[in-house]
Amino acid sequence: MSDLSITIEPEKPSDAQAIERLHERTFGPGRFVLSAYRLREHVDHLLDLSFTAHIGTLLVGSVRQLPVCVGDTKALMLGPLTVEPPFRKHGIGRTLLERSIADAKAKGHRLILLVGDFAYYNRVGFQKVEKGRAIMPGPVDYNRLLVAELVDGAFEGVSGAIRPDWDFAR
């Protein structure tokens, strides 16, 4: 990390508007057609596993995790992870990512899935999901569907449709 003084903390309900504006700036209006957003339509992210990054009072980054199931197996869906463009390349995204993974593991979660760049996420333990093993709602580039086992062997024998964890439905 650079010499920027970054504060990472759990997301608060009062952060929602600033995070939405960050998502608008970094992902644009096309974000709503992505498969991961299909999942987010039905269940909210978990505040205790979602984090913000601040420099002073300025929100500069965010990561969220959503409760999902792969078939009948409970998991988390990480994302979106985003950092304000002027603050990228300072390790903020990686710090948010590592914090969200560590807290998920500490709270007993076993699997995290995401749709993202393998070269970036592989550095923190994500692997590609074998094609056909987990099915996203809507179109997705299955070369970008990744999984991290928080417990060794947690993804063994797991397959099926990725869907919201209805225990958390709105």
Question: What 3-state DSSP class applies to 149?
Answer: strand
Give pLDDT tens digits for 129-144. Answer: 999 999 998 888 999 9
Question: Which one, of 33, 35, 103, lies nearest residue 63 by Cα?
Answer: 103
pLDDT of residue 1: 43
Q: Class of the 6-168 domain?
A: alpha beta
pTM strictly above 0.85: yes
pLDDT of residue 121: 96
- Residue 125 near residue 148, CB atoms below 8 Å: yes
For the range 56-60, what are the long-range contacts, defined as Cβ-Cβ under 8 Å and sequence gap of 24 or more?
56/5, 59/15, 59/18, 59/19, 59/22, 60/6, 60/84, 60/87, 60/92
Give pLDDT tens digits for 96-110. Answer: 999 999 999 999 999
Domain coordinates in residue numbering, the chain: 6-168
Give the model's confidence band at 46: pLDDT under 50 very low, under 70 low, under 90 confident, else very high: very high
Q: What percent of the chain has pLDDT over 70?
A: 89
